Amino acid sequence: MRLIRSLLVVFASVSSAANAQTSASARTIVLHADRMITIANPAVVRNAAIVVTGDKIVAAGPASTVGVPTGARVIELGDVTLLPGFIDSHTHIIGRTLGDPMSDLSSVKDYQGYAAILGVENARNTLMGGFTSIRVLGSGDFDDLALRQAIEDGRAIGPRIEAAGHALGITGGHCDENGWKPGLLQLGPQQGVANGVEEVRAAVRYQVKYGAGVIKTCATGGVLSEGDAVGVTQYTYEEMKAIVDEATKLERKVAAHAHGTEGIKIATRAGVASIEHGSFLDDEGARMMAQRGTYLVPTLMAGNVVEGFAKNGVLKGLRAEKALAAAAAMRKGVRIAAQRHVPIALGTDAGVIPHGTNAKEFGLMVEWGGLTPLQSLTAGTLNAAKLLGWDKRVGTIEAGKWADIVAVPGNPLEDIHRTESVTFVMKGGVIYKGQGAQ
């Protein structure tokens, strides 16, 4: 039944996505709301208006100064705050979600292509949650790239995607498939499992050849993998530097999964663009990251979820122990990062958390990390756009940028949890949720 439901979502998405994109061609829409936070300017704009023509923002500001172009369609949104479309810098949009009874067996039991079908529904839920752009950090069989193509072609509804293809890691490490008998799921450089400088260079080249826009690597062990300690280093500095150097030559950034303190420092010295999770970050590591402009993507929601699964028995044994240790450390690590002015970009590890609930990360960054609501919003818009290299196109509400706009009830600067109740979603000038949706 789940497969049938997913297929129906695919077919519905094909029709509605194509119709929406066609109807957005060159029309002019004016969005009018009680408030707007452009992120480019921290001040709240009252009685705000945004003029959108086609897929671009033409003007934004107080309604009294923006005006209404002749023939434009005006959409009155009322007591909401207009914001740039949210950006999640760390997702796994393909396949099953943690907690699904089949999630641990999916790699050996699900048919090839089933994960991508699930990805269509996941992508739609993510967009409806207000996330108009995401970075997908690892999936098998390049399913993330297939989904990206389907969305770009108008055959599915979802956010803009920056995709990594296969994540790169050592044999038996967090980015490998472990816990199976010898010979089952024996992976190599083409699937991202690479050892030594030459193999990791080849693995980077292979991902880029097939469309990866970012390189994901595992610098330390992880929570959900079998047989490795969560904080232990995996790639050496020489291997990590080779990954970064090769990616840089090919004009790609590197995102490094790193929980442990030493792995964070090795990856930072090697020149990665971002540290994912950063659970056991210490003061020295935070200073290094701040000096180099290395982003932290803290994935606090994932820490919260795995901690709960460990306490209620969904995770057992070593994985439960790792979940509890990482979640406890994460609360301290993100505060150290904020205090040391490490740039922070929102990321949820969606796939560990249910797709579409991503906006809860805003609240956790305030509650666990000590960020202000504005800093939290910036982490999930402009900062994330800078990390992806997309800040000239998205991340703020400004003339000339893509019309990626969301609305939340009330004022999120007074209650950051308002971000969890998105009432309006526009991506590229097309309204997908709320008044005027196709």
Rounded Cα gap, residues 308 and 299, in angstroms: 15
Q: At 327, phi and psi to the nearest 5?
A: -65, -40
Q: Is 386 a catalytic residue?
A: no
Rounded Cα gap, residues 349 and 261, in angstroms: 20
Q: Which entry of 34, 55, 176, 349 is annotated as an active-site residue?
A: 349
DSSP E strand boundaries for 184-331: 214-218, 253-258, 274-277, 295-297
Please count the other Cβ atoms lying within 10 Å of the Cβ belonging to residue 96: 20
363, amino acid identity: G
Q: Is 349 a catalytic residue?
A: yes
274-277, strands of its sheet edge to edge: 214-218, 253-258, 274-277, 295-297
Q: How far is CA 112 from each of CA 34, 101, 228, rounded to the nearest angstrom?
A: 48, 18, 27
Q: Which entry of 216, 253, 265, 401 is annotated as an active-site residue?
A: 216
Q: Give yes or no for a contact between 141 and 135, defined as CB atoms under 8 angstroms apart.
A: no
Nearest to 359 by CA among 405, 427, 305, 408: 408
Rounded Cα gap, residues 354 and 349, in angstroms: 9
Q: Write out the catalytic residue numbers.
A: 216, 349
